[in-house]
A and B are shown apart, each in its own frame.
Chain A
């Protein structure tokens, strides 16, 4: 049951997106997220949707998995849309019946917001689907390395992140084992009211903490034994290199942003002030 949680939802593949440099993917994702909020009319919105669809197609990630990433935010999307529909005023009235007043501005804002959130989630999930957690942390470390000037311990933070990711499956196994052991002693985890259930977790959490701390100490010792000192001057086994395809994709992204800006200027905004 607990194994169903997918963290670091990497989808193994060899598409163009998989082969892009992780740093570039992060940069591109950030640019895309910003440009999402630039869209002001249906033309630029359409361009954004097209871009998202193309990204998904190129990644070769099965649609089923893409939908899985949207599912958790469905409620948020519906909820914000409803709020927008009923509370945003301005523009031409669409429905005006008793206490219900719906305006064109409300409808459009709702539509724009919903599509923006969905595109945002889909494109950022493309990042995690096509990049292994280790690559991601490496890339984050590289991108944050200018902060070293301000004495931010970037490489230590990155190492912590890598270790945390590495130990998630181990912890999941550990939880399974401890849960089984306590169930064998008659622990009842499935019944009872809220407080009883919380209390029933104590026999699992305490051993989990104890063993995690033990594991952490052992790991620290092992790292010490191999003379790990962290800090500056460490080299990587896998060097990251930008190559032609990275710059080509960046160029496409620049074209996309330019397209959005041009469409916005040419067709004007859909929302009436």
Chain B
């Protein structure tokens, strides 16, 4: 049974006004437990709109969202449950920090769940550890952290709710390459350690290729493709047609292939290096 599914989900913004617009249309997708799904798509393709449906922040005009086998709009209680089962971390989450200390800010979510003090304490420390925040930072004001630290503190605030599904909307936006790699590394190890399902919205196909097990491609409010990294990335022509760029190494491999040197396919620099090294001796 999929942990998360959307059945015919359609969403209209500004319903009933002249500026009404269809942001997503007839979305059908099943996400299995434990996957790490990368969601990619051109800007405005409806990625953020879709993920806000998964935790019940947006109500679909048509269709259902099923979390853990339950329709989240069946009643009020189910909707609130979905908030905690599906943790959503928005783009630029550092702008939602508000407490006096980082510790208190991370405990905001667990507190809203009505957990006991001890349990909250445990969860905060664990979440801080997952995102790699040092213990001494926890007593600082969140406004005194560096940009990257703020980002990780905000993500910890969502992780501390221990959701079954963690959704991150462009968690690496606006970070330098090092900060980006750290976040990606963190997401990967978080998933491996907890076994939870992760959805990662990203503009970078390279980032997605690095850590995702499956890829969901959105285009103009609809699902264009959904499959494993290899399945999706091999359609480079279609991807380019909808305004997405396959990673640069894949392009290099394609060019090599068209020039008569078939090395297979690679979507990350590391994988490419591996292939080249393994074949190096034979073909050069």
Contact = CB atoms under 8 A, between A and B. Distances in A.
Contacts of B113: 186
A177 B90 contact: yes
Interface stretch (B4-12, B92-100, B211-219, B220-228): B92-100
B50 interface: no
Interface stretch (A139-147, A154-162, A201-209): A201-209
Nearest to A209: B98
A184 to B, nearest CB: 4
B245 interface: no
A185 interface: yes
Interface in B109-136: 109, 112-113
B161 interface: yes
Given A203-B108, A210-B143, A184 B88 contact: yes
Contacts of A203: 96, 98, 108
Range class of the B interface residue count: 20 to 34
Contacts of A186: 80, 83-84, 108-109, 112-113, 161
Given A181-B90, A183-B83, A188 B96 contact: no
B123 to A, nearest CB: 13
A185 B98 contact: no
A180 B57 contact: yes
B98 A181 contact: no
Contact of A187 (B52, B112, B143): B112
Contact of A207 (B96, B112, B161): B96
B57 A184 contact: yes
B46 interface: no
B96 A178 contact: yes
B161 A181 contact: no
A35 interface: no
Interface in A199-220: 202-204, 206-207, 210-211
A210 B150 CA distance: 14
Interface string B124-157: 0000000000000000000100000000000001
A182 interface: yes
B90 A184 contact: yes
A184 B160 CA distance: 12
Nearest to B57: A180
B105 to A, nearest CB: 9
Nearest to A211: B95
B39 interface: no
Nearest to B167: A184
B98 A184 contact: no
B87 A184 contact: yes
Contacts of B172: none
Contacts of B89: 184
Contacts of B65: none
Interface string A160-195: 000000000000000001101111111110000000
Contacts of B88: 184
B103 to A, nearest CB: 15
Contacts of B97: 207
B55 interface: yes
Contact of A188 (B57, B112, B158, B161): B112
B90 to A, nearest CB: 5
Interface string A203-245: 1101100110000000000000000000000000000000000
Nearest to B154: A181
Contacts of B157: 185
Given A178-B95, A180-B57, A185 B52 contact: no
A121 to B, nearest CB: 25
A180 to B, nearest CB: 5
A185 B57 contact: no
Contacts of A207: 95-98
Contacts of B55: 184
8 contacts: A178-B95, A181-B93, A184-B57, A185-B161, A186-B80, A188-B112, A202-B98, A207-B96
Given A180-B52, A185-B112, A210-B143, 12 more contacts: A177-B90, A177-B95, A178-B95, A181-B90, A181-B93, A181-B96, A182-B96, A183-B83, A186-B80, A186-B161, A187-B112, A211-B95
Which 9 pairs of residues, A with B, have the shortest CB-CB distance? A186-B112, A206-B98, A181-B96, A185-B109, A184-B88, A181-B90, A203-B98, A207-B98, A186-B83
Interface of B: 52, 55, 57, 80, 83-84, 87-90, 93, 95-98, 108-109, 112-113, 143, 157-158, 161
